[in-house]
Amino acid sequence: MLHIGLTGGIAAGKSTIAAVLTDLGAHLIDADVIAREVVEPGTPGLYAVAGAFGDDILTADGTLDRPALGRVIFGDDAARARLNAIVHPLVGEATKARVRALPSDAIVVHDVPLIVENGLAANYHLVLVVGASEDVRLNRLVTDRGMTPEDARARIAAQADDGARRRVADVWIDNERRPDEVRTAVGQLWRRRIAPYARNLEAGAVAARSGPALLFEPPEPPRTWVAQADQILARLRRAGGERIRSAEHIGSTAVPGLAAKDVLDLQLGVDTLADADRIAEALGRAGFPVRAGEWADTPKPNEPDPRRWDKRLHGNADPGRAVNLHVRVVGGPAWTYALAFRDWLRADDAAREEYAALKRRTAAGTADTRAYAAAKEPWFTQVWPRLQEWVAAERWQPPAL
């Protein structure tokens, strides 16, 4: 089951995009609708809210007076936290009940206004953010909803800004275009990414990759490689739970300023490979199925036992975000090498430029990514003594667990 988080600023037009996705076959779960249902008259939710904020937030017929409640919590973080502590668990339980009623291969769109503000991005396989400029949203609030400009500006200012939204957006949907253009763009997204992702997830399959090794300069903020890696690592930690001892961004995309293939290398640390096997299914459900076969890194001179370099390898079910997920034993030579090599390149300008030059030569001289990786491999062993010298000189230690 593929879970998509749909969000955006007030008046950005989430409902428009939700309708298009529903027409394409998605199952919509609207958090605002559920939030209203759990505080309807006679519900425990309404009883708890009235108990927390007083009967002044009720109308004469006993229903929730939303404008009155809004005035109580607006600008008052403590009051908003009290309300959320009541309503959010109820919404969560109702959402789970709706999900349980859906087929296993469903594509579920969760319309949640405050994914960014409440730090919920890790709950979804993909986060779609509907975007529109502040001026456009202001005009929509005044024209379509009858707000005063002052109230509209205050509502916009109370939410996350576009920089924060772009940081978590797996996909940014520009909703300032003509409706037919928006519908076409969402349809293409569905066919090229969402539907294939759902199929891969159901089949436990890694998305296919092909073609030459193309190097890219690091993307500009806020949607940097680091930001993307952080978001995926949060999803993986949520999926793997306590058996994940460490979760790190490694490889070229983790080194500032270094050109790289647009593939995120991530490393999870576990106590044993048996633990890696125990979480494999959960990682697959999170969007990262295991790659079939036996996997190991190349032994280095001071750790020649090949069994010490065994690992598990997972890949991306999402065709729109390439990931190599290495699961290694914490403290083992491969786990340590990956972290030390990353930090060495971050710290040593000469080593970083040497590696960058190797990458450029190799990318130009190989036909595909498999050949590119194989051609670079001897260099990692060649520089092993220099890396060990740097580790000793800097008294480097891996990040604390």
Work out the mean pLDDT of the chain and round it to a whole number: 96
- Detail the residues annotated as belonging to a binding site for ATP: 11-16
Query: What pLDDT band is residue 400 in, cutting at 50, 70 and 90?
Result: confident
Judge whether 214 lies within some domain.
no
Domain boundary among 154, 169, 203: 203
Q: Which helix (H) or strand (E) holds 93?
A: helix 77-100
- Span 296-320, mean pLDDT? 96
Q: Does position 368 have pLDDT exceeding 80, yes or no?
A: yes
Whether the bond into 256 is cis, omega within 30 of 0:
no
Residue 401 is predicted with a pLDDT of 83
Query: What pLDDT band is residue 2 in, cutting at 50, 70 and 90?
Result: very high
Judge whether 8 lies within some domain.
yes
Question: Which tens digits make up the pLDDT trace of 80-103?
Answer: 899 999 999 999 999 999 999 999
Residue 181 belongs to what domain range? Answer: 2-203
User: Do 261 and 381 share a structural domain?
Assistant: yes
> CATH code at 333?
3.30.460.10
Secondary structure (3-state) at 99: helix
- Detail the residues annotated as belonging to a binding site: 11-16
Domain count, the chain: 2
User: Do 333 and 286 share a structural domain?
Assistant: yes
Sheet holding 246-250, edge to edge: 246-250, 264-270, 323-329, 310-315, 295-296
Q: Does position 74 have pLDDT exceeding 90, yes or no?
A: no
User: Do 198 and 242 share a structural domain?
Assistant: no
User: Do 240 and 186 share a structural domain?
Assistant: no
Question: Which tens digits make up the pLDDT trace of 169-181?
Answer: 999 999 999 999 9
Judge whether 212 lies within some domain.
no
User: Do 344 and 290 share a structural domain?
Assistant: yes
Residue 266 is predicted with a pLDDT of 98
Q: Which helix (H) or strand (E) holds 128?
A: strand 126-131
Higher pLDDT, 107 or 158: 107
pTM, to two decimals? 0.93
User: Do 180 and 93 share a structural domain?
Assistant: yes
Judge whether 216 lies within some domain.
no
